[in-house]
Structure 1
Amino acid sequence: MPSTVDPSTTSILIVGCGTWGSSTALHLVRRGYKNVTVLDPYEVPSAISAGNDVNKIVEQGHRGEDASVSNRVVLEATKAWETDPIFKPYYHATGVVVAATKPENVQELYESEHATPENGYEPLKTAEDFRRTMPEGVLTGEFPGWKGWAKKDGCGWVHARKALVSAAMEAQRLGVKLVTGSPHGQVGSLIYEDGDVKGAITADGKHHRAERTILCAGANAPQLLDMKNQLRPTAWTLAHIKMTEEEAKLYKDLPVLFNVERGFFMEPDADNHELKICDEHPGYCYELPQSGDDSTYVSRPIAKHQIPLVSEQGVRDFLRETMPHLAERPFSHARVCWCADTPDRGYLITSHPEHASLTLGVGGSGHGFKVIPTVGGYIVDCMEGKLDESMKHTWRWRPETAVRRDWTAVQGRMGGSYKVLDFGDVKEDEWTTIKPRL
């Protein structure tokens, strides 16, 4: 290990100002670090960050005997959403409605959610049960085969983009230097010297040297560092529908509705009166290898403000089952957003085994945004050598889990074709043609 960090003098470079990079910057400066720089090829909020979104689901952990790392992390994040002034304004504790249709998925959901009345869950068995969870006129569908539960306390949604910007701007206010946009913030490579990492080089040729480097580049991380197949950049699809002012009022403060096979929606955002709907599927990669265990494969994130027509169909099918009165309404916006999956969908928050000054904060695996208030603290703990031992083990560098990795593995995700799809297979005329926002 390199020498102990000194908050007053140690120079810190963070690569990436998305969800985890902005959180890390905030936690560093809150601990008194005086020399922190963050690089990102996009202005805040990043155009490809999964956190650049109007809303994300946030659920509470299970209190009681469950002492797992994942449960503890969710509990600590929930407390921060409720109390941290940087994040609290963007947390909406509206409750959730969770469901599935296949009996085996209903049972798995019941067990994973601990969905008992003692834990605050109300069973939903009929279409009328689902419709009663929201005001009259919202849920007008027949909910064919749906079974699930409603939970009112300790869960809901957050305004993701505003929370991300809030973290980044507070970090900047407290002294963090943000270098964003291309070419000045676009990292082309890390600086490797004497077996260690000493910073990064941006597209304008500038060398940003630092005593400690923290890689929070999300889906782009494998392009900067050999991750030994531990990260698979994976994308999901979302669409927005424009609502009238009257509809926005009716849909305000609704619980999140999430069918793990069909998709989910949350209330319209207050700024644009747009309802976001996501179709559920195991995700997209880019140009998947012919061989499922190709050890040289790296999925390359692409920025796209359209979605494949098959995803549009998935969104509309979901609406036909839940809100058929909206099913044919045109989309006002759509995009793909990227995350990065580890083989076991556990985070990768660890010191690099070969580069002593490099700390990794990657591997959100589709559930990284809900912990934005706290994850930066874990990453700083790791850099300082203070990370809780159970977290240190769970989030360790673990290339053994990626040997002969199946890049097409669904990793427990459901919906759509129940397969990981490939953007490379989507022909030019198989994308939506929504007019871009000005």
Structure 2
Amino acid sequence: MNSNTSRIVIVGAGVFGLTTALELSKRGHRNIVVLDRHEPPVPDGSSVDISRIIRFDYADSIYLKLAKEAYDLWSTSHHYRKVFSKQPFILSTTSPSGRAYIDQCLKNLSQLSLPWTQIRSSKEAKKTFPILTGTLASPGFYGYCNSQAGWADATLAIAGLRDQCIEAGISFISGAHGTVTEFKKEPSGRITGAKTLSGDSVQGDLFILATGAWTSQLVSMHNSILATGQVLGFMKLTEAEMTHYKTLPIYINFDNGWFCFPPHEETKYLKVAVHGWGYTRSCQSAASNTTSAVSSPPTEPRSMRANYAPRDGVQRLREGLREVLPELAGRDFERTAVCWYTDTPTGDFIMDYHPEHENLFLATGGSGHAFKFLPVIGKYTVDAMARSLPVDMQTKWRFRTEYRDEDAFKGDGSRGGPERREFTETERANL
């Protein structure tokens, strides 16, 4: 890439797209344009919501080090002062697999002399955090707490990142003119332009695809990603309840994937969610030269996520509340929603060139955990583009074509709850 002559077209204005654009600008590139259906924050994008967990506890040592690097910026940089809130984080389990995952996390934390506190029972957890009134993960509670953790207002963080991009001179195209429907290609596979819903074609020298769960609709991904819907619930609190629950820790039950946040001051919402195997929405990939189906969210631009989650998903949200905050389990959610993950078979990101298109770089595969890396991930993405990553990262984030079907999607060992299933036709109509 020559910063004076190369036109770089980035498709997707979420965490991967915006951080890559900003980092490229910092490295001297001046002809960068970002395309998306909507001006960021994109309302139905997976990078947008009232809260995302920020923590560095990982069973994988590479992600732990990167997450700690990111956490240090979340907690100290002026860019994130208004979007990051420090809050204790609890991970709990009752299962052997959960214990193994937690033990590896704690081993990694200890090797780097990072803090954690063992919690040996639900009674001990409730003594430390009296706001937790339920049975918690029991019987056989096993877990830990890390006080160096917190959450970020994802929408505000993306808006701030967008503003940094604008200040850096990066261009944005949205609406029909920014909605990419396919790529124009030479016989060799080299891409010459991104065709949009308006009928225009945005020309470029290098294209970066950072479209998250929508990626398989634009290029063949060889079963390396799977879009999965995850359920969210938002409960409106009174002023008195806002005060009462402000000490609520971020709590995850490893076994069922349920987690919660402290209340969000501006919206007065208490948010609960599930980090599980999720739901798929099969559709035919226009980019694929095979007859295999892919999973993808709806493609129509939206003003916000649909106020809908499948019935069994809402039931899981309530079951989690009964376990942690039983006094709220019977109350209606003001909103429910589906957030779309871009899962990979191993839970690792994809930062690599597409094997069929020499000038198409893929920055995707967030797998439900990429947002926390926002302050640093652009640096590593651009290093991957320059092929200057350390070998272990290159290997971890390479584009893989060896997976044959959905059975390959085993994840990183952090998922819990029921097996993944397809949305029914009735459920699809409500998304």
Q: For 1:32, which of 28, 31, 51 is the aligned residue?
A: 28
CA contact (8 A) 1:69 1:394 kept: no
Are 2:127 and 1:121 equivalent residues in the alignment? Answer: no
> What is the match of residue 329 of structure 1?
331
CA contact (8 A) 2:229 2:280 kept: yes
Deviations 1:345-370 (A, max 9, x none): 11110122332221110111111111
CA contact (8 A) 1:261 1:281 kept: no
Q: 5 Å matches for 1:203-218?
A: 203-218=197-212
Structure 1 Cα separation of the partners of residues 139 and 281 of structure 2: 33
Q: Kindly provide the amino acid, as one letter, of the partner of residue 264 in structure 2.
A: D
Give the superposition deviation at 1:178.
Answer: 1.2
RMSD between aligned alpha carbons?
2.7
Deviates more, 1:106-115 or 1:24-33: 106-115
Structure 2 Cα separation of the partners of residues 152 and 69 of structure 1: 19
> What is the match of residue 43 of structure 1?
39
- Pair 1:245–1:221, CA change in 2 (3 A): same
Structure 2 Cα separation of the partners of residues 346 and 414 of structure 1: 14
The 3-state SS of whatever aligns with 1:235 is: strand
Aligned pairs, number:
415
Q: For 2:167, which of 162, 165, 173 is the aligned residue?
A: 173
Give the superposition deviation at 1:405.
Answer: 4.4
Q: 5 Å matches for 1:32-181?
A: 32-61=28-57, 68-114=61-107, 119-134=114-129, 136=130, 138-143=131-136, 144-145=138-139, 147-181=141-175
> What is the match of residue 416 of structure 1?
417
Q: Which runs of 4+ in 1 moved over 6 A?
A: 115-118
> What is the match of residue 281 of structure 2?
286
- Pair 1:410–1:174, CA change in 2 (3 A): closer
Using the aligned pairs only, state the percent identity.
29
Structure 2 Cα separation of the partners of residues 61 and 8 of structure 1: 41
- Pair 1:188–1:268, CA change in 2 (3 A): same
TM-score by length of 1: 0.87
Deviates more, 1:148-157 or 1:316-325: 148-157
CA contact (8 A) 1:199 1:212 kept: no
Give the superposition deviation at 1:61.
Answer: 5.0
Are 2:239 and 1:245 equivalent residues in the alignment? Answer: yes
Q: Kindly provide the amino acid, as one letter, of the partner of residue 234 in structure 1.
A: T
The 3-state SS of whatever aligns with 1:412 is: coil
TM-score by length of 2: 0.88
- Pair 1:156–1:280, CA change in 2 (3 A): same
CA contact (8 A) 2:132 2:248 kept: no
Q: Kindly provide the amino acid, as one letter, of the partner of residue 369 in structure 2.
A: H
Structure 2 Cα separation of the partners of residues 411 and 30 of structure 1: 32
Give the superposition deviation at 1:256.
Answer: 0.8
Structure 2 Cα separation of the partners of residues 61 and 428 of structure 1: 35
Structure 2 Cα separation of the partners of residues 40 and 353 of structure 1: 24
> What is the match of residue 301 of structure 2?
none
